[in-house]
Structure 1
């Protein structure tokens, strides 16, 4: 079948959504399907991608707001014979996906990748909506499509609590286990000055919603000359985190942006992986770290606890307690036998439960279910106009409306 994936983020950006799309595109293509990505960015020379016009998001320049021509997207979808729409965000490209659904009478599947109420701080004042409004928006969008995909049972329950009435299917994103198993750090340790040191590793956005300030407090408790905290990634909180580390003389390295293909090498730098985000719908980096042989210490929260259920290579902490988190890390770092046991069990868990090929067939079944039901009849522009009667969003969307629909 011909699948159109619509997203506000895609490679070369590094995040869970971009990774999920790229991985499923690869695996579905291997199974004989054609997958077309419509997004504001894409790797050079990648086939079957329509890169649309966009402008930087005001508070985060690396993120883009689509100002693409709806007509151009519709023409592309017709030309390529897209049979099912799959949206990966409910915002600008999500609106385009709704328009394609309406105009071309196509079934529409939506993956709810992000716990949107926890990301409201990225919408500048005075437009910042309330938590309840964002929950309502999430339900509103999901109720316009054939099927909603939730990465975990926890997220499915969350969506149902928002008021989503359409069918919700639980489908996580797996990983390419071999890619992380076989990677080697090469001379990376020498290049970063990590030889002879133990490394606590984090990978992901350096951002408020990832709870990185909590991780820094934990490292402060463990700080020593032979221990380094390496954060692989970049984000809006980077400067603040680096300033705190300088003031407290912490042995911290933030790598900045790392090309997606090189990420597996960076996991091999670590002795243990840490993660404290409370906003994850899944947390692919946890699975990547486990596949790389790293024990994982993480807060037991929402989507994360579903993903790591039954994993004996990860230690899930119930409370956001600096002392308990630091004590757990110290025990792993000073006990080679424990570290090796956790590493072995983590690799076994990921290989058995999270190889991506297990999930591709289920995604095909979801597409077929949507195609069999047929397109839902909607008037996308009318529904969006109705939704933005909410006071705080009305001005914001009215300013963007012409760009969204032209």
Structure 2
């Protein structure tokens, strides 16, 4: 099968969307399919890249570390014709998403879409939420998805949101998988040594884009209470983003510079080492549509403290992979209670295999391939029916 993936974000940009696309691409290639990425230019990329077509782009006006293409629809169509694509898979509702729809329409092939982002959690980036309202998100998402042949939602939470928006096209829940082999590689204690954290100190890990919607400030504000019970605990914040300076100032104001460490962005090949060095992966975010970091933590054997929602409840209910909290004030209590357990609930190998199998990149790819096949079959049937009707 020849698949064209259209996305506004791809490596070297770091995001859950880019990671999801790369995971899918690599697994599709492993299974003998051809995958072509249509994406934006990036200042860090120079020269030609195999199977990647980049289009002139500029930073998104209110989201400077993300980009939008400003031209290239006709070039995309020409290249897609040359490649003889079987299906278009859009992974953005913006520039390259619209281009993908145009290409699919012109080539008379199906266009499927993955709805990655809960946009209502990001409205503050545009004129502080005073211009674009939730109603606009609802209408735009509904229109875009209903113009797709079928839609992938990475979680039940995302599917429920789309149904609430009025999306009537087929929606399939397919969680993003991870390459388990990458996380099975055992990292040594070098991370703790680099950060000057002793082997017996509780290490709490936050790994995400450092931005308002990730609610990292709640983890920072919970640390004084954590330190009262776990005096040697360290919070390690991995990632970069627009809120970093503000959060660093918050740490200074709370006199927590000895207990909270900002690492910055790390290479994807090193992510597993941070998970494995940690005692707990902690998150106060409620903006995740797929929670890829939770999956990576489980794959690394690291337990999780997270906010309760539909997604985390489904993920953690299978067998003692962490604990959930409801209110902001419960974060410190949840962390300390979990750390102080003399004997944490042991996860059986069978329970672990059930979860890991469900989140593997192989299973993810197979589900997407089946989704492609069913969509192509249905699209061909409807096209043939339309031809017969018009005769």
Fold match by TM threshold 0.5: yes
* Root mean square deviation, CA, Å: 2.3
Name the residue aligned to 1:93: 96
Q: For 2:350 and 2:333, locate their aligned partners in 1 and report how far apart those are by CA, in whole Å.
A: 21
How many residues are aligned here?
374
- In the TM superposition, residue 225 of structure 1 has moved relative to its aligned partner by 5.5
Q: Which of 208, 212, 220 is the aligned partner of 2:212? A: 208
Name the residue aligned to 1:9: 9
- In the TM superposition, residue 26 of structure 1 has moved relative to its aligned partner by 0.5
Q: For 1:22 and 1:354, locate their aligned partners in 2 and report how far apart those are by CA, in whole Å.
A: 15
Deviations 1:204-227 (A, max 9, x none): 111111111211122232236622
Name the residue aligned to 1:110: 113
CA pair 252-346 structure 1, distance change in 2 beyond 3 A: farther
Deviations 1:96-130 (A, max 9, x none): 11111222222000001111122112223687311
- In the TM superposition, residue 363 of structure 1 has moved relative to its aligned partner by 0.9
Q: Which of 177, 181, 185 is the aligned partner of 1:182? A: 185
Name the residue aligned to 1:298: 306
Name the residue aligned to 1:283: 291
Name the residue aligned to 1:165: 168
- Per the normalisation by structure 1, the TM-score is 0.86
21-30 or 75-84: bigger deviation: 75-84
Q: For 2:174 and 2:255, locate their aligned partners in 1 and report how far apart those are by CA, in whole Å.
A: 43
- 1:255 is paired with a residue of what secondary structure? strand
55-64 or 71-80: bigger deviation: 55-64
Name the residue aligned to 1:35: 35
- 2:9 is paired with a residue of what secondary structure? coil
Q: For 2:203 and 2:143, locate their aligned partners in 1 and report how far apart those are by CA, in whole Å.
A: 44
Bigger RCO (CA 8 Å, 6+ sep): 1
Name the residue aligned to 1:401: none
Name the residue aligned to 1:136: 139
CA pair 345-119 structure 1, distance change in 2 beyond 3 A: farther
Matched-pair contact (CA < 8 Å) for 1:56–1:63: yes
- 2:221 is paired with a residue of what secondary structure? helix
The correspondence of residues 1-400 of structure 1 with structure 2, limited to 5 A, is 1-41=1-41, 46-124=49-127, 128-196=131-199, 197-223=201-227, 226-250=232-256, 251-317=259-325, 319-322=326-329, 324-335=330-341, 337-338=343-344, 341=346, 347-374=352-379
Deviations 1:1-41 (A, max 9, x none): 10000111111222211111000100011111001111125
Q: For 1:7 and 1:172, locate their aligned partners in 2 and report how far apart those are by CA, in whole Å.
A: 18
Structure 1: unaligned runs, 5 residues or longer: 378-406
Matched-pair contact (CA < 8 Å) for 1:209–1:279: yes
CA pair 353-102 structure 1, distance change in 2 beyond 3 A: closer
Q: For 2:316 and 2:243, locate their aligned partners in 1 and report how far apart those are by CA, in whole Å.
A: 27
Matched-pair contact (CA < 8 Å) for 1:313–1:343: no
- In the TM superposition, residue 290 of structure 1 has moved relative to its aligned partner by 1.4
